[in-house]
Amino acid sequence: MPIEIFGAREVARLRRAGEAARDTRAVVAGRLRAGVTTADVDAWVREDTRRRGGTPSQLGYRGFPAAVCVSRNHVVCHGIPSRGERLVDGDIVNVDVTTCLDGFHGDTSATFLVGEVAEERRMLVDVARRARDAGVAVVREGARLGDVGAAIVEVARAAGCSVVTELGGHGIGRTMHASPHVSHVGTRGTGMRLRAGMAFTIEPMINLGRPEVRTLDDGWTIVTADGAPSAQFEHTVVVTRDGCAIMTA
């Protein structure tokens, strides 16, 4: 699939969608605590997204049954909110919000700490954020897609963590998922050359244990194969001549 190059007017719309997703993510962050259910998070995201004039992109996407992915502890991504799942002290939980506003999508996630969290898990969350930021930092016109994954893998490996290879970031624009696929385990100097106006997500999933994942019988929930915790952060970015513009910062 060809990769779209967005002009200033389209980037302005991507930014509005990205900022709406970011703001909804922040509203959720302010309400998370032990005792809330992941279904509560889903209700907040539905309500807050609509309040901003958007729609939740994930709701009904390929049959996904909720407005937001909520992924706790050993759940890597695509966790389905449930009334029976309560946050407890010591959890780490990723909330992944995608908003469609005025025909464009913004996609962002963060992993939050619930109450008192073990040192090892706090380290994992910190590594995931730094890995995402290291990927974002190498984006500029002329850089290669492989540079992004290489930067991510270096941060993760230096901390003794692993990077999930089976899922990656994605182009984004008038659809939530577009070309290119953004691997989080690249090799520097390889892959597609980035051009100003390309829009994609960077969303590394970092595991405390082994990188392997498996899908639960619900067809959505991705968990670590070894049951160890996983953390993720996601931004939507647009390539510029000297770097990138973060739509979801």
Residue number, 73 or 108, with CB nearest to ligand MF3: 108
Residues 128-167 that bind ligand MF3 (CB under 6 A): none
**Cα 68 to Cα 24: distance, rounded to the nearest angstrom:** 11
Q: How many residues sit in the footprint of ligand MF3 (CB under 6 A)?
A: 13
| Contact between 61 and ligand MF3 per CB under 6 A | yes
Rounded-to-10 torsion of CA 99, 127, 30, 44: 30
Of 23, 48, 91, 234, the residue at the interface with ligand MF3 (CB under 6 A) is 234
The residue type at 234:
E
Rounded-to-10 torsion of CA 57, 199, 125, 130: -170
Of 107, 148, 184, 247, the residue at the interface with Co ion (CB under 5 A) is 107
Q: Helices 38-51 and 8-31: crossing angle, nearest 10°? A: 140
Report in angstroms how near the CB of residue 81 gets to ligand MF3 at its nearest. Answer: 11
**Cα 43 to Cα 214: distance, rounded to the nearest angstrom:** 27
CB atoms within 10 A of CB 7: 8
Give the DSSP H/E element, type plus range, for residue 96.
strand 92-101
SS3 (DSSP) at 99: strand
The residue type at 103:
G
Question: What binding mask, one character per residue, do residues 182-221 give for Co ion by CB under 5 A, x or -?
Answer: -------------------x--------------------
163, 206 in Cβ contact below 8 A? yes
| Contact between 181 and ligand MF3 per CB under 6 A | no
| Contact between 58 and ligand MF3 per CB under 6 A | yes
Q: Which stretch binds ligand MF3 (CB under 6 A): 59-67, 180-188, 223-231, 237-245?
A: 59-67
| Contact between 221 and ligand MF3 per CB under 6 A | no
Q: Which stretch binds Co ion (CB under 5 A): 93-101, 132-140, 178-186, 210-218?
A: 93-101
**Cα 116 to Cα 90: distance, rounded to the nearest angstrom:** 5
Residue number, 98 or 207, with CB nearest to ligand MF3: 98
Report in angstroms how near the CB of residue 98 gets to Co ion at its nearest. Answer: 5
* Residues binding ligand MF3 (CB under 6 A): 58, 61-62, 64, 69, 78, 96, 98, 107, 170, 203, 220, 234
* Residues binding Co ion (CB under 5 A): 96, 107, 109, 201, 234
